[in-house]
Amino acid sequence: MDNEGTRQKLVVTGGAGYIGSVCTARLLEAGHEVTVVDDLSTGHRDAVPDDARFIEGDAAEVASTLLADGFDGVLHFAAKSLVGESMQDPSGYWHGNVLTSLRLLDAMRANGTPKLVFSSTAATYGEPKETPIAESAPAEPTNTYGATKLAIDHAITSYARAHGLAAVSLRYFNVAGAYGRYGERHTTETHLIPIVLQVATGDRAQVQIYGDDYPTPDGTAVRDYIHVVDLADAHLLALANAAAGEHTIYNLGNGTGFSVRQVIDACREVTGHEIPAVVAQRRAGDPAVLVASSERAQAELGWKPERADLTGIVADAWKFAQR
Ligand code: UFG
């Protein structure tokens, strides 16, 4: 097992995106050498930390030649990640997510790259039968996005067993917050916290609450919000603990759920803005409650979320939204 302090030479695919850029910043701070590969289809060039090398292009295509330079590992964030879009454009998701990842795995194998940390998702579980959700829960995705991430997880398991890859998949719950100049700025924003904050900045008139008739205490859907820096730090621990021939899956969340109304209230408190909200139809495919059990990550990686407070998460996102 590597020790966390060892300097490693790493490729980060999708390092110009929200989570990839925060993770790149944390990897650099920990002393690692990072090459970011991103096609800038949804990422931003100026989100890539200055101390990282940057190559613009398709993750798998670039990796097929780049990895010949000898890298210790790949952190694979690059993906299409919108649930709604995945239902309208399955081809884009199966090709963009699954095919690209298979080609990346083959490039890693061909070049003897030993480690992979993969961005998986809570969407692999689908409608949960039990809460909180442990890694042993049945993986029955209800949308194409989750199905593509699950397919990649299965492929990684096979490559680890057959070819000795040291692999970790991290299944993210609702990632939020920001890290200084690195934060969430999607061209098409669908995520709750940035949308609510757009009302506070005056970029949006009101927020729509997608359904208030869920079987939850206030009728609105409950999610497990995790600070992007806590999430990024789990990647560093995953890298340090990945073992050859093994593929381990960890859920990452705080283990506490907050409703849509609670999130809006936290945003009102942080911004001092009244943030008008109206109740709208449920959004198709939204489960009532998604809360993680991260016991495995805590026990095996020694991971501990240190920024679990919702107000603090919103406050960091708010600082970023005002930039
Ligand atoms: N919501 C609203 N109004 C909005 C936006 C969202 O009420 O304008 C609600 C949603 O219906 C949902 C909750 O706020 O109940 C959170 O929605 P997000 O779109 O922020 O996040 P999701 O829970 O839908 O999805 C996110 C990721 C997925 C991941 C999932 C796992 O985008 O990739 O978390 O928990 F799978």
Tell me, using a 6 A CB cutoff, whether residue 85 lines ligand 1.
no
Closest-CA residue, ligand 1 atom 10, reads 210
Q: Which residue has the higher pLDDT, 63 or 1?
A: 63
pLDDT of 4 reads: 52
Contacts of 202 (CB under 8 A, 6+ apart): none
Q: For residue 72, how far is its CA from the centre of ligand 1 (angstroms)?
A: 34
- Percent of all residues in the chain with a pLDDT value above 70, rounded to a whole number: 98
pLDDT, one tens digit per residue, over 18-66 is: 999 999 999 999 999 999 999 999 999 999 999 999 999 999 999 999 9
Q: How would you classify the pairing of strands 73-76 and 174-176?
A: unpaired
Q: For residue 35, how far is its CA from the centre of ligand 1 (angstroms)?
A: 31
pLDDT of 1 reads: 38
Tell me, using a 6 A CB cutoff, whether residue 258 lines ligand 1.
no
**How far is Cα 131 from Cα 280, in angstroms, rounded to an integer?**
26
Distances (CA, A) of 84 to 54, 174, 183, 187, 233: 30, 16, 22, 15, 29
Mean pLDDT across 102-127: 97
Q: For residue 224, how far is its CA from the centre of ligand 1 (angstroms)?
A: 10
pLDDT, one tens digit per residue, over 248-260 is: 999 999 999 999 9
Q: Which residue has the higher pLDDT, 287 or 90?
A: 90
2 burial class (0-12, 13-18, 19+ CB within 10 angstroms)? middle
**How far is Cα 288 from Cα 138, in angstroms, rounded to an integer?**
17
Tell me, using a 6 A CB cutoff, whether residue 209 lines ligand 1.
yes
CB of 273 within 8 A of CB of 321? no
Whether residue 71 is predicted with pLDDT greater than 80 in this model: the reply is yes
Q: Which atom of ligand 1 lies closest to the CA of 221?
A: 15
Q: Which atom of ligand 1 lies closest to the CA of 253?
A: 35
**How far is Cα 20 from Cα 179, in angstroms, rounded to an integer?**
12
Q: What is the 3-state secondary structure (H, E, C) of 216-258?
A: CCCCCCEECEEEHHHHHHHHHHHHHHCCCCCEEEEEECCCCCE
This prediction's pTM: 0.97
Helix/strand/coil for 95: helix
* Cβ atoms within 10 Å, residue 50: 8
pLDDT of 5 reads: 60
Q: For residue 192, how far is its CA from the centre of ligand 1 (angstroms)?
A: 6
Where do we find the tokens 């729509």?
208
Catalytic residues: 145
Tell me, using a 6 A CB cutoff, whether residue 260 lines ligand 1.
yes
Longest dimension (CA), the chain: 56
The mean pLDDT of the chain is: 96
pLDDT of 193 reads: 98
* Cβ atoms within 10 Å, residue 5: 8
pLDDT, one tens digit per residue, over 185-229 is: 988 899 999 999 999 999 999 999 999 999 999 999 999 999 999
